[in-house]
Structure 1
């Protein structure tokens, strides 16, 4: 793993994208930069995994970002966007809104909104990445920016007071 860095500009996409997807690099950078420049996305962290360039039958992240919108020592709200190998050997893009778990059996976090889409070529990869950026940008535009309303909307246990 490498990173974290605050901008996709520092991520060597040519090292992590499989050869058949390399032509998507320019569009991925453009979309990621648009996300980074959003006025509510001031805590962005990109990580990449050059050791995962080949699929191995498990879920393996190639590159991803986390945007922290709310973080205390014991509660959080984060947005994430990842390009990852899926267990079936296909490349996919996943975007999620995640909150800390307050279940009796602590699961650590819960995705309260998510999208996962596979990509068969570089054009689909860029399009699916654009859909992921759109999901996160919608949250950045509309909020809420605290985890509790997301838990309530998802029917999850609320944080004890």
Structure 2
């Protein structure tokens, strides 16, 4: 499924989430600006969205991402950190907000990456999309303020350090 890309102001929020109220759109925009403000380089993040995922596509391989941002930070030669915030569909057809910090894998068996910290909030009766998105954005902004050292994150998750 092709993803569109651009600044958060370009995201067609009411098309992606037809039930959003005006206050909800403002809340999502406020949370996205907090993510932009937390970036080291000060640039606005490039957000991605998939109009083809407005309606839940049902169970499928992979997670159907509706809206997301992926901030990749180089953390030394051949190493990187990845910070994610996504609105996705669950297998049960509910919206969820996922946020995660990933590090490159240096295990004997190459797992590619590891989530070293993650947040998953399912949208429902007790948590609205704006509340879940704000919580995910706040967590992402906090992670972006932490050290940009991948070994710091690996140590927190008890993963092997980068091999020379």
> Which of the five TM-score ranges fits, normalised by the shorter chain?
0.7 to 0.9
Match of 1:30 in 2: 30
**Distance (whole Å) between structure 2 residues aligned to residue 115 and residue 31 of structure 1:** 16
* Distance in 2 of aligned mates of 1:73 and 1:9: 34
The Cα of 1:30 is off from its aligned counterpart by: 1.6
RMSD: 2.1
1:3 is aligned to 2:7: no
Q: Which 10-residue stretch deviates more, 90-99 or 32-41?
A: 32-41
Residue 93 (str. 1) matches residue 94 (str. 2) = no
Consecutive unaligned residues of structure 1, counting only runs of 5 or more, are none
Between structures 1 and 2, the one with greater helix share = 1
8 Å CA contact 2:101–2:116 kept in 1: the answer is yes
TM-score normalised to structure 2 length? 0.85
Q: Name the CA shift for 1:127/1:97 in 2 (closer, same or farther; >3 Å).
A: same
Report the Cα offset of residue 140 of structure 1: 2.3
Task: For residue 114 of structure 1, report the CA deviation from its aligned partner.
Answer: 0.4
Aligned length: 157
Contact 1:35 1:41 in 2 (8 A): no
Aligned residue number for residue 150 of structure 1? 153
Measured in 2, the distance between the counterparts of 1:41 and 1:83 equals 24
Structure 1 match to 2:52: 51
Q: Give the number of the structure whose residues are more often strand, by fraction.
A: 1
Distance 1:49 1:148, change over 3 A: same
Over 6 Å off, 4+ runs: none
Unaligned runs of 5+ in 2: none
